[in-house]
Structure 1
Amino acid sequence: MLELENLSGYELDSVLFDEIFATLANTYMPSLAPSLCLEVLITDSAHMREINKAHRNQDKPTDVLSFPLSVEYTDVPTQCTLSLGSVVLNAELAQKVARELGHMLEDELKLLFIHGLLHIFGFDHECDDGAHRREECGWIERFCLPKSLIERSDCV
């Protein structure tokens, strides 16, 4: 279950993210998927800058941040709701990038959400052997989205 809070000023429907969350949860945590919840915050660049500075000591806005909860889930009843953490999306920056690349804001937010959600599920492109990139590319293809965040950042 997604707990969506949209502070961005853009009209967005949480349905944009429901299918992606359900699909990835069923893939990476199938036995717990029905009990999982995730907070999704959609905000603007000023607020994202504050969050980035407070949590990463980076005084600048960014497009997506993930805050996984480090909890071991064992012997949990299925009726229990388990929080995976939070994904924060910068809709203002996403809109700018979407315009520059010629696709819709919703597609850019889905790309960012997949990227952040993979961090929640333990992938980390900053220190892995390309696993995050491979997973992201596969999901982006499956959901028929434009070029991925990591692909756009690659220098190779």
Structure 2
Amino acid sequence: MRILCSSEIEKNSRIMDIFTKAASLCMEGEGLSPINAEISLSFVSQEEIQRLNKMYRNIDNYTDVLSFPMIEDFNLIHDGEEILLGDVVICTEQAKRQAEEYGHCEEREFVYLFVHSVLHLLGYDHMNEQEKADMRKREEEIMSELGLERKMK
């Protein structure tokens, strides 16, 4: 698993190791090998994520994370083939606000948003209640495996 990140967070090997493990868990849970997989990860301002949200989703508002999948049909992936999953874009300011709002550390929020986005890259969505429940269940399983469970207030 390779995560291409061009921000200061890349210099923090601890968080990058957690992101790598999280992405690997996401992929393995879907029966995919993370060995030859790659994800692009960017951290942007509120203004930049709003610009991207408007450009790609026609929603003129900021959001916490955006996902840009590169693969439409995972059945076409062959063993050993390089997998370019796609791009994850996280709004730094919104992630920090949400961490404070939900009462947990920033690291947990950044990892949660990353897991959420990687699951989108793998085809998960939350357009209806069943999809939302399935995605939330998978998010919580991965966060638990990482030791970053949600703390109940």
CA contact (8 A) 1:16 1:106 kept: no
Cα distance in 2 for residues equivalent to 1:99 and 1:26: 31
Shift in Å, 1:6: 2.2
| Matched ranges for 1:46-125 at <5 A | 46-72=47-73, 74=76, 76=78, 78=80, 80-125=81-126
Structure 1's 77 and 102: CA in aligned 2 closer, same or farther, altered over 3 A? closer
Following superposition, the deviation at residue 102 of structure 1 comes to 2.8
Code of the aligned partner of 2:108: D
Shift of 1:101: 2.7
Unaligned runs of 5+ in 2: none
Counterpart in 2 of 1:153? none
Q: Give the structure-2-normalised TM-score.
A: 0.81
Pick aligned residue for 1:140 from 120, 138, 143: 143
Deviations 1:78-137 (A, max 9, x none): 2x4320111111111111121233322111100111111111111111136121122112
The farther-off stretch of 109-118 and 69-78 is 69-78
Q: Distance in 1 between matches of 2:125 and 2:55?
A: 20
Letter paired with 2:5: L
Aligned to 2:24: 22
| Partner secondary structure for residue 116 of structure 1 | helix
Q: What residue ranges of structure 1 are gaps of 5+ in the alignment?
A: 149-156
The verdict on how the C-alpha distance between 1:101 and 1:119 changes in structure 2, with shifts beyond 3 A counting, is same
In structure 2, give the amino acid aligned to 1:110: V
Structure with the bigger percentage of helix: 2
Matched residue count: 145
- The answer to whether the 8 Å contact 1:6/1:43 transfers is no
Q: 1:85 to 1:21 in 2, by over 3 A?
A: same
Deviation at 1:28, TM superposition (A): 1.5
SS at match of 2:35: helix
Secondary structure of the equivalent of 2:6?
A: strand
Q: Give the C-alpha shift of residue 17 in structure 1.
A: 0.6
Greater Cα offset, 121-130 or 84-93: 121-130
Structure 2 Cα separation of the partners of residues 21 and 143 of structure 1: 11
Amino acid across the alignment from 2:18: L
**Deviation sequence 1:24-53 (CA, Å, 0-9, x none):** 2222143x4211111111111111111101
Percent identical: 25
